[in-house]
Amino acid sequence: MELDERRISAVIVRRFMDRLLDSMDLDVAIVGGGPAGLVAGHNLAREGFKVAMFERKLSLGGGMWGGGMMFNQIVVQEEGAQVLREFGVRVLDEGEGYYSADSVEAVSTLISSATRAGLRVFNCVTAEDVTMREDRVVGLVITWTPVEMAGLHVDPLAIRSRFVIDATGHDINVVRVVERKVPGKLMTPTGRAEGEKSLWSHRAEELTLENTREVFPGLYVAGMSANATFGGPRMGPIFGGMLLSGRKAAQLVSRALRG
Ligand code: 48F
């Protein structure tokens, strides 16, 4: 068989377009493919929901690849170790309640599990805005990241979703958009994004879970974006809270979808 470049290109275009068209109406749109978004996406897709993830970078994984200061090892506590084991990631017992894992193995396993569970991934795509109806988030406005990087004057596209999860980490990019569009209306103490506090691993891990919730009708926060939204501290290179937050976000959104 002689390979035909046109055939190769046509397959790519058709497969991608089929997936994009079939993702115009979603149950859940997750923005950000770090550990929190990946666990949330995996669990929701496994339940049979139509879930897509929009990640601005070429590869998923967010801040997990680099462990701490590019030492590619991660630390988790018992509950986080349990989540990693459920995904099949090998975990080492470091004593006194600390566990470690290879960050490359952890991220690649989360990505593989999530996509195999049915999560639709759109990488190189930035969520630049949300769509709203009657003070409820009902979808995302998306564009190619290179368009944003080049500052090209190109209109974006929009997709519908019954729920959106902001898993964009420290930057809380979706929450920030809503804050600008509807000032003072977030479900936080001040109605605004409270901002992230200084590093305090223990407290941050507890609060990440507590702060994983709905922040505006139709919009949930997970992972570091939960703490940045509700004013919790950052936690540094311990990742159990991210995994548990992703799991909690999936539980909350699943309950809401079943409503
Ligand atoms: O930062 P990130 O890994 O978020 P996370 O899941 O985990 C946080 C930890 O990595 C670490 C930490 C724990 O020790 O504090 O920082 O909460 O992943 C966030 C992802 O969101 C993408 C970004 O490229 C990253 O991969 N992202 C951010 N803004 C957008 C976006 C956007 N507007 N559209 C699409 N993707």
Closest ligand 1 atom to residue 126 Cα is: 34
User: Rounded to an integer, what distance in angstroms lies between the CA atom of residue 130 and that of residue 178?
Assistant: 7
What does the pLDDT look like over 20-74, one tens digit per residue? 999 999 999 999 999 999 999 999 999 999 999 999 999 999 999 999 999 999 9
Q: Is 223 in the pocket of ligand 1 (CB under 6 A)?
A: yes
User: Rounded to an integer, what distance in angstroms lies between the CA atom of residue 184 and that of residue 190?
Assistant: 7
What does the pLDDT look like over 216-259, one tens digit per residue? 999 999 999 999 999 999 999 999 999 999 999 999 999 999 98
Closest ligand 1 atom to residue 35 Cα is: 6
Q: Which pLDDT score, from 0 to 100, does residue 51 have?
A: 98
User: Rounded to an integer, what distance in angstroms lies between the CA atom of residue 36 and that of residue 246?
Assistant: 4
What are the φ/ψ torsions at residue 180 (nearest 5 degrees)? -70, -40
Q: Which pLDDT score, from 0 to 100, does residue 74 have?
A: 97
Q: Is 56 in the pocket of ligand 1 (CB under 6 A)?
A: yes
Q: Is 62 in the pocket of ligand 1 (CB under 6 A)?
A: yes
What does the pLDDT look like over 167-177, one tens digit per residue? 999 999 999 99
Taking residues 143-156, report their average pLDDT: 98
Q: CA dist 196 to 95, 199, 209, Å?
A: 30, 9, 15
User: Rounded to an integer, what distance in angstroms lies between the CA atom of residue 189 and that of residue 172?
Assistant: 17
Nearest C-alpha neighbor of 166 from the set 27, 256, 51, 32? 32
What does the pLDDT look like over 76-115, one tens digit per residue? 999 999 999 999 999 999 999 999 999 999 999 999 999 9
Q: Is 237 in the pocket of ligand 1 (CB under 6 A)?
A: yes
Taking residues 199-220, report their average pLDDT: 97
Amino acid at 246: G
Q: Which pLDDT score, from 0 to 100, does residue 174 have?
A: 98
Q: Which pLDDT score, from 0 to 100, does residue 92 have?
A: 98
Q: Is 75 in the pocket of ligand 1 (CB under 6 A)?
A: no
Closest ligand 1 atom to residue 246 Cα is: 6
Distance of CA 61 from the midpoint of ligand 1 (Å) = 8
What is the domain class of 34-65+103-158+187-222+232-258 according to CATH?
alpha beta
Q: Is 110 in the pocket of ligand 1 (CB under 6 A)?
A: no
Distance of CA 139 from the midpoint of ligand 1 (Å) = 19
Distance of CA 35 from the midpoint of ligand 1 (Å) = 8
Closest ligand 1 atom to residue 142 Cα is: 34
Q: Which pLDDT score, from 0 to 100, does residue 16 have?
A: 98
User: Rounded to an integer, what distance in angstroms lies between the CA atom of residue 206 and that of residue 24?
Assistant: 36
Q: Is 126 in the pocket of ligand 1 (CB under 6 A)?
A: yes
What is the overall mean pLDDT for the chain?
Answer: 98
- Reported ipTM: 0.99
Taking residues 148-159, report their average pLDDT: 98
Closest ligand 1 atom to residue 237 Cα is: 14
Q: Which pLDDT score, from 0 to 100, does residue 113 have?
A: 98
Please give the share of the chain, as a percent, with pLDDT higher than 70. 100
